Structure 1
């Protein structure tokens, strides 16, 4: 894949030092680490390897990736590996995509309490679907789901929401049969919305009572329990956004679609148009437009672009992909095997690793299309003995 003309890494390298000096003391250590990782990704600073074509002898240098989950360049290979690992989890049933969004008022609290509020968002959404699906008046089944946290809108604003992929059905309470949902329909979004609202507000109050929330600026008064309860009161009456998209075309389409969400970052390099010391221009989608062209170009001050990108850096150790119910890691394999038996479906063929060369590359030779193989590995500061011409290629 050709390298984009402009990358987030280019913006960080050129304008990041001045931005860091101007914002000294207001940037977290993890944000600084993310900037550094993106700046050095696929450069000499991380070392690399020399690859040679088995057919024409062409050689090139490929520098190592930073493998940071916030780096736009590292998500493609990570998504492919994740998809390969999850292929065996697919079931021959309809899959549904459900989105849970936090109100803007709650998002302001999440901005300063990311670990606590994002964790609550995962818990409340999963409990909502598990509870409603288990209701005999609804589906009456134990279901499973994969949840992915996104914290951004298309314009890089702070917009926390959960993308949930759910198989269309579940196991009966005694595990003896598969209960399928109605074709093209999973659960009522209005019912999901009301329970999600209640569970989240109750969880937020519990976090406040435990002293796990902090407040700043014009929200500082919410540190008082009575003031916080009064502030939450209108949110109990408003409609919280839960959106269910139509079912996928088939199980195979689910995984390809899901990987675009699991390994997405706040902005991809392909959306960048131009950047200088004053302004960054990038493409964004205006979802407020119901019909017509939603694609627009946004111009942000360069410092503001960097700030917006970094507000989506997650806390250390925080998992943005989580599995619940039947797909929870501890029991996923046994549950999937049980469901396949009940559906009369054949298990997927196990991937074989026999004969795979660990030094063979996925990408073919750019000159003749032949197989490429690593012939030398070097570290930062070392000069490859092969003396290949220094070209930056995808690792």
Structure 2
């Protein structure tokens, strides 16, 4: 059972039910997904190495919301992040937008998400600067997720952060000691104050009358960095709901499975088909919004300092060996191999052909 098949079969009903709520970004995502591997605007050209047979294949759409695409994009991101890993302990800090503010984020997603990123990053930098153990420059990577495991709208940002900082003046790595990096309650207090100030004073957004007194920020020790990176990448470029988790589409009802965050057990959720489509498509991000951001020592411009830190830690015995830079195993990319239908011999990729853009009557709205 594939999400795109369900979308194609029920698109008219979905357009009719949510006509006033479908954004431009959603329509672009829908068009891309329904055109994925079927649109002949751009095709890959292949030639047999043993006979004269040639074939053109439609390309994947490449949209970040498409469940059929982006495997290599995810792999590339993980490989790049692996090269930045330090041989230290890592923490994951999660800033969650309160329920009362989610209606604002839904109607003004770009402003809201940008504010969440800038405020959360400023909070982490401030806590690191004022920390007795740290005090130097830190680095962290933030990933925006807009849903929980049930796929309800639940905007939050995960930050993965090495437990240490770099003192440029002393050319020294300062290791964070103990079980805790920052106090989560203090993080939540500052997160609340700064985000509300950003929304009201800088963005002139009218806030609801009732807001929760306590906000939620989690700061958890996650051990080494790679498992946390893999967790962050799970929904990064592969769509909101993998096709393998969709169980059935019967009698106007779609069922999918998910892992409950509390019990860690697999549960099943069933919705009317049109509501199911909205559940997934509401998470399409505004075009151009970066949902992954690096800060401080993990920015691209800090590569030399980061390699210096890796070498220092290696010399100190944190790594068994270093060759040029931190050695980490690369994840495998998906390699496309095609076989000639005539002689069953391997075909060679010859390039991309640009054809005339096909007309589409997919949308009437």
Alignment TM-score, normalising by the size of structure 1: 0.75
Contact 1:114 1:315 in 2 (8 A): yes
User: 1:133: which partner in 2?
Assistant: 128
Offset at residue 378 of structure 1 (A): 5.0
Contact 2:91 2:181 in 1 (8 A): yes
**Closer/same/farther in 2, CA of residues 72 and 230 from structure 1, 3 Å limit:** same
Match of 1:178 among 173, 176, 197: 173
Offset at residue 348 of structure 1 (A): 2.5
User: 2:307: which partner in 1?
Assistant: 337
Question: Comparing both structures, which one devotes a greater share of its residues to helix?
Answer: 1
Contact 2:47 2:53 in 1 (8 A): yes
Query: What are the Cα deviations for residues 180-216 of structure 1, in whole angstroms up to 9, with x where unaligned?
Result: 1125532222222222122222222224xx43x3xxx
For 2:107 and 2:356, how far apart are their aligned partners in 1? 40
Offset at residue 137 of structure 1 (A): 3.0
**Closer/same/farther in 2, CA of residues 361 and 135 from structure 1, 3 Å limit:** closer
For 1:335 and 1:206, how far apart are their aligned partners in 2? 36
**Closer/same/farther in 2, CA of residues 349 and 338 from structure 1, 3 Å limit:** closer
Query: What are the Cα deviations for residues 44-102 of structure 1, in whole angstroms up to 9, with x where unaligned?
Result: 445433657879x9998753111111111113121012223333322222222222111
Contact 2:123 2:191 in 1 (8 A): yes
SS, match of residue 222 in structure 2: coil
Alignment TM-score, normalising by the size of structure 2: 0.81
For 2:274 and 2:259, how far apart are their aligned partners in 1? 21
Contact 1:138 1:187 in 2 (8 A): no
Offset at residue 344 of structure 1 (A): 4.1
Where does structure 2 lack aligned partners over 5 or more consecutive residues? 316-321, 358-365
Cα RMSD between the aligned structures?
3.4
Offset at residue 325 of structure 1 (A): 2.0
For 2:55 and 2:245, how far apart are their aligned partners in 1? 28
User: 1:153: which partner in 2?
Assistant: 148
For 2:62 and 2:170, how far apart are their aligned partners in 1? 40
Where does structure 1 lack aligned partners over 5 or more consecutive residues? 1-5, 214-222, 352-359, 383-395
For 2:187 and 2:20, how far apart are their aligned partners in 1? 42
Total equivalences in the alignment: 343
User: 1:274: which partner in 2?
Assistant: 248
User: 1:219: which partner in 2?
Assistant: none
Q: Is residue 362 of structure 1 aligned with residue 335 of structure 2?
A: yes
